Amino acid sequence: MKKLLTNSVAKLLPVLFLAVLPLPSWGATTDTPPPRLILQITVDQLRGDMPTRYADRFGDGGFRYLIENGVHYTSAHYQHANTETIVGHASLATGALPSMHGMVANVWFDHGLQRLVYNIEDPDYTLLTANAGVDKATEIDPTQKAAGVTGRSPNAILVSTLGDEMAIHFGGKAKIFGVSVKDRSAVAMAGHAGKAFWFSKSSGEFVTSNYYYDEYPDWVTRWNQADHVSAYAGRSWNLLHEKSSYLFGDSDDRPWETDFPGFGRTFPHAFGAADDKYFTTRLTLSPAGDRLTLNFARELIRQEKLGQDAVPDYLSVSFSATDYVGHLFGASSLEAEDNILQLDRTLAELFAFIEQEIGLENTMIVLSADHGGPESPGYLNSLGIRNAQYFDTENLDREPAIARLKQKFGIGKELITMYSHPYVYLNRELIREKGLDQAAVEQAVAEELAEFGGISVAVPSSALAENRQPDTLLMRSVLNNYNAKRSGDIFVVFEPNVFINDFDGLVVAATHGSPWRYDTHVPIFFAGPRIGKKTIHRTVAPYDIAPTLAASLRMKPPSGAFGQPLVEVLSN
């Protein structure tokens, strides 16, 4: 333990040294009013190159507003190894590494409960809408079905968020909200002190739990009763422009794309009838999901009167369609291309609304992503990149190498109980029954797994706990993801361009969740009062966002914040 603490402190010394240096002279002085609204936009699975890849076809007011009026960091990378939705959102909200904020995966195995738990599940706080729980017939996201517990709260986040710090600093007067199609995205960003709303595919409404409210505000009830979802019945996702104008206009039907029931692989993608069991799911697989999120967020701004007084308010809007489209069709597909162009229009409408209601000069906007995204193996193979492939985790325990280990340790039953990304879980009860050393078994299994084709490294948790892994960039990212109470027994890193494509029984084109640069790379944009146009190519990290926003509000950063304030945003 002493060695671990010594090494950890040594690694933190450069950060601590920077922390005691005098900060630059910010453009905002003590007599300069802070922004009235912090608008934090997170685009799920927006890889860092995507906003510029199609910039020549962006309209006015969306991404172009950020590019032409703000600071654009082109080389922002996460430094943790499991680039999944909750991990990234919690990192954005807290400025902390997963090892500190505790959200190490979308699901993890709880040894006390003896089952997988969903990251924000909480049986103590039920949903306010009775039929808004997870419906397996309409839900393609397996993480929400891990436990069948429909209650939701932020209690599993172990440190404070930016919203929490705003509530503390401004005496509870700051209004703090998170909105998204995904519950985990909304809850993580709203933090412990805010309010979260998310889209229920079961009820076709934006819902919340009684952690936040005893009953819905009247305006939410009215919005849901207006049945905005039914407006999409019988309609389709159509291309925004003429097909010939798209980079992938001649690639609308590819064999590796997912043929989701009734949605198809080619345009137009039909939403189906309102009573179709997949209707609401199809909406979230398209720009329609982002449009619903936009419409609800606008009503929230209006009804909750955000940005209307001197106390700064906070609104997180997380757009999820890019993630679903990336999974089903891949990053380099006609669907992904059109989705980005349609997202640009959605952002333009949001910014125009902010200008009308609050004024962009009174609003600090930050846009980033929870993670990047890979290319699908089929697309890479078509370009002659042959090492791209899928990996089957179902039969890990039946591999000959594991069979030899079982014989060595005298284990006749299953040694590997499950693989739940990114962790291998061993049969701890059996290991105890045999009187074996858990660390020795972890090490032996990890060494065998590392020899499997498609696996880059397999890291035992015991080695992470004792800081026995090599000090490399890859291993540091795995260590940054390690939390003793929640991490599995062995962290598996697949080779670049090797993926798992089983998404709860649905075969998908691509999955993120690795430490490779395509998954860690995200954009960061800041735009707002006294921020001029700058393009910064030095490497920064999304953990820097929360401390930067805290500094702009002249308050302390979140309790576990690892990042540093970005001087280009704060000094003018």
Least confident of 102-111, 119-128, 137-146, 534-543: 137-146
Predicted pLDDT of residue 31? 63
Claim to verify: residue 543 and residue 440 sit in the same structural domain: no
Predicted pLDDT of residue 500? 86
Beta-ladder partners of 116: 109
Claim to verify: residue 476 and residue 537 sit in the same structural domain: no
Residue 372 domain flag: yes
What's the pLDDT tens digit per position in 388-432? 999 988 888 888 999 999 999 999 899 999 999 999 999 999 999
Check whether 10 has a pLDDT greater than 50. no
Least confident of 8-12, 68-72, 204-208, 555-559: 8-12
Which strands make up the sheet holding 363-368, listed edge to edge?
Answer: 205-207, 195-200, 176-180, 313-319, 37-43, 363-368, 521-527, 71-77, 534-536
Residue 23 domain flag: no
Q: pLDDT averaged over the chain?
A: 92
* DSSP three-state, residue 492: strand
Quote the percentage of the chain above a pLDDT of 70: 91
Predicted pLDDT of residue 492? 98
Check whether 552 has a pLDDT greater than 70. yes
* DSSP three-state, residue 450: coil
Predicted pLDDT of residue 40? 99
Least confident of 19-23, 201-205, 277-281: 19-23
List all residues 6 or more positions away from 353 whose beta carbon is below 8 Å from its beta carbon. Answer: 298, 301
Predicted pLDDT of residue 442? 97
CATH number at residue 440: 3.30.1360.150
Residue 209 domain flag: yes
Q: How far apart are CA 313 and CA 270, in angstroms?
A: 38
What's the pLDDT tens digit per position in 352-392? 999 999 999 999 999 999 999 999 999 999 999 999 999 98
Check whether 297 has a pLDDT greater than 60. yes
Claim to verify: residue 91 and residue 191 sit in the same structural domain: yes
CATH number at residue 545: 3.40.720.10
Claim to verify: residue 490 and residue 539 sit in the same structural domain: no
* Total number of domains constituting the chain: 2
Check whether 23 has a pLDDT greater than 70. no
Over range 242-255, report the average pLDDT.
Answer: 96
Over range 531-557, report the average pLDDT.
Answer: 97
Over range 518-529, report the average pLDDT.
Answer: 97
Claim to verify: residue 367 and residue 398 sit in the same structural domain: no
Predicted pLDDT of residue 367? 99
What's the pLDDT tens digit per position in 487-497? 999 999 999 99
Q: How far apart are CA 291 and CA 272, in angstroms?
A: 17
Check whether 255 has a pLDDT greater than 90. yes
Residue pair 38/549 in contact by the 8 Å Cβ criterion: yes
Q: Where are the beta strands (DSSP E) in 70-221?
A: 71-77, 107-110, 115-118, 176-180, 195-200, 205-207
32 band by pLDDT with thresholds 50, 70 and 90: confident
Supply 222's token pair.
């009215």
Predicted pLDDT of residue 146? 54
**Stronger pLDDT, 37 or 2, i.e. the higher one:** 37
Claim to verify: residue 222 and residue 353 sit in the same structural domain: yes
Residue 7 domain flag: no
Residue 105 domain flag: yes
- Provide the domain limits for residue 477: 392-453+455-494
Claim to verify: residue 94 and residue 154 sit in the same structural domain: yes
Claim to verify: residue 237 and residue 340 sit in the same structural domain: yes
Check whether 17 has a pLDDT greater than 50. no
Claim to verify: residue 405 and residue 553 sit in the same structural domain: no
Predicted pLDDT of residue 8? 40
504 band by pLDDT with thresholds 50, 70 and 90: low
- Please give the helix or strand (H or E) that residue 346 lies within, else none: helix 334-357
Over range 215-234, report the average pLDDT.
Answer: 98
Predicted pLDDT of residue 149? 73
Counting every residue, how long is the chain? Answer: 572
Quote the percentage of the chain above a pLDDT of 90: 86
Claim to verify: residue 254 and residue 368 sit in the same structural domain: yes
Claim to verify: residue 100 and residue 226 sit in the same structural domain: yes
Residue 265 domain flag: yes
Residue 504 domain flag: no
What's the pLDDT tens digit per position in 53-111? 999 999 999 999 999 999 999 999 999 999 999 999 999 999 999 999 999 999 999 99
284 band by pLDDT with thresholds 50, 70 and 90: very high
Claim to verify: residue 59 and residue 175 sit in the same structural domain: yes
Residue 501 domain flag: no
What's the pLDDT tens digit per position in 112-127? 999 999 999 999 999 9
Predicted pLDDT of residue 74? 98
Predicted pLDDT of residue 26? 35
* DSSP three-state, residue 318: strand
What Å distances lie between residue 455 and 4, 403, 414, 500, CA to CA? 27, 18, 21, 11
Least confident of 63-72, 206-215, 476-485, 504-513: 504-513
- Please give the helix or strand (H or E) that residue 237 lies within, else none: strand 236-237
Query: What string of DSSP letters covers 375-429?
Result: PPHHHHHHTT-TT-EE---TTGGGSHHHHHHHHHHT--S-SEEEEETTEEEE-HH
